[in-house]
Amino acid sequence: MLYRRFGRTELQMPVFSCGGMRYQFKWQDVPNNEIPADSQANLEATIRRSVEVGINHIETARGYGTSEMQLGRVLPQFPREKLIVQTKISPQEDAKEFRETFEQSLKNLQLDYVDLLGLHGINHAESLDYSIRPGGCLEVAQQLQAEGKVRFIGFSTHGSTDTIVQTINTNLFDYVNLHWYYINQWNWAAIEAAKRHDMGVFIISPSNKGGLLYEPPQKLVNLCAPLSPMVFNDLFCLSHQEVHTLSVGAAKPQDFDEHLKTLELVDRASEILPPILARLEEEAIATLGEDWVKSWETNLPTFDQTPGEVNIRVILWLRNLAIAYHLVDYAKMRYNLLGNGGHWFPGNKADRLDELNLQQCLARNPYADKIPQFLEQAHQMLAGEAVKRLSKT
């Protein structure tokens, strides 16, 4: 395993982390005795494999259903100082509820303390306010830190880059969990801000939200050769020293194996990546057109500046991925979250274009006349049944 200094925490963080949202029994809490033996055995085997290969950062959240409770049966079996344990609690208007939720997490995990406590989902102005206002959730987290129940405090986010940078620039957090990978590099400015503040940087879900890379389309397989898309994406992320660790959302012990192939390549990333990156860009240009690839995002409105709160940027991005790389299943999954994702995946689909006038909000984009038909095309290609966030299923 390779390790990187996790910012000002000074923790030696493995470059892969064991994310805890795919191996649990259910997304809802259930009594301990209702967890099937095979589910628990699989989770414990996954954790043992994780630690065996040097992935000693175990990351979960109160919002991940039975994950914490199931981890509580196995984590106390390891020497505590050998583990880096992170859980996450959503900011709440009532900071007392935040504390009560944390205490439940600690009880579930059967630990005396967690190394990392993340405020889970600082995605918009309201959740940031709940976190940092006087008497808010961050103050509670700092009290827990003073009591020895928390070592370091960070936040996780699915918010806009502006919101993430604003939160980082408070300089109140030790680390950040955010999205950034090959197909979605929008948050690079936030990673640069985190570096300026010497914060740890944890990449959320690079194989799932980064393109369902455990089931990649053949076209992407061909473009990423000789690497698998998953190893390519891992190597792309880890070739940037500002990135400290990538979440492996393991559902079973074998799920680490493909990721581990990346380790021996990290020192050769500058030699291995350029031909693959060039091929991916060439294919995007060949299928979408060079002008479009280089300037489609110019002056696009945010969803809250758009009639009907249509998330134009995300929809066009998904259309690009579906056409250029055949990431259709991924694009469908994400597209059908629109309208159902709340502040975790905001904005709406392009299903009411005939009722909306987008002319004014698109006036400063060079493709203003084409975008409505591209949005319609994306809707025809990607629309299906509405998708709920996993925690709501």
The whole-number pLDDT of residue 47 equals 97
Strands 57-59 and 84-89: parallel
The whole-number pLDDT of residue 386 equals 63
The whole-number pLDDT of residue 343 equals 83
Spell out where the chain has E strands.
3-5, 12-14, 16-19, 57-59, 84-89, 114-120, 150-156, 175-178, 200-203, 245-248
Identify the three-state secondary structure at position 303: helix
Query: In degrees, to the nearest 5, what angle opens at C-alpha 230 toward C-alphas 224 and 231?
Result: 75
Spell out where 24-183 has E strands.
57-59, 84-89, 114-120, 150-156, 175-178
The whole-number pLDDT of residue 93 equals 96
CA dist 18 to 5, 69, 109, 268, Å?
17, 16, 15, 25
Phi, psi at 103, each rounded to 5°: -60, -35
What per-residue string of b and e applies to 325-341 under the rule 16 or more CB within 10 Å gives b?
A: bbbeebbbbbbbbbbeb
Polymer length in residues for the chain? 393
Phi, psi at 239, each rounded to 5°: -70, -10
The whole-number pLDDT of residue 361 equals 96
- The pTM for the full model equals 0.94
Q: Which 8-state DSSP code applies to residue 169?
A: T
The whole-number pLDDT of residue 340 equals 86
Contacts of the segment 35-41: beta carbons below 8 A, 24+ positions apart = 35/66, 35/69, 35/70, 39/70, 40/70, 40/73
One digit per residue, the tens of pLDDT, for the chain of length 393 reads 999 999 999 999 999 999 988 888 888 899 988 999 999 999 999 999 999 999 999 999 999 989 999 999 999 999 999 999 999 999 999 999 999 999 999 999 999 999 999 999 999 999 999 999 999 999 999 999 999 999 999 999 999 999 999 999 999 999 999 999 999 999 999 999 999 999 999 999 999 999 999 999 999 999 999 999 999 999 999 999 999 999 998 999 999 999 999 999 999 999 999 999 999 999 999 999 999 999 999 999 999 999 999 999 999 999 999 999 999 999 999 999 999 878 888 999 999 999 999 999 999 999 999 999 999 999 999 997 666 555 544
Measured CA to CA, the distance from residue 184 to residue 211 in angstroms comes to: 9
Q: Enumerate domains of the chain plus CATH numbers.
A: 3-267 (3.20.20.100), 289-392 (no CATH)
Retrieve residue 15's tokens: 């470059």
Measured CA to CA, the distance from residue 169 to residue 178 in angstroms comes to: 15
The whole-number pLDDT of residue 141 equals 98
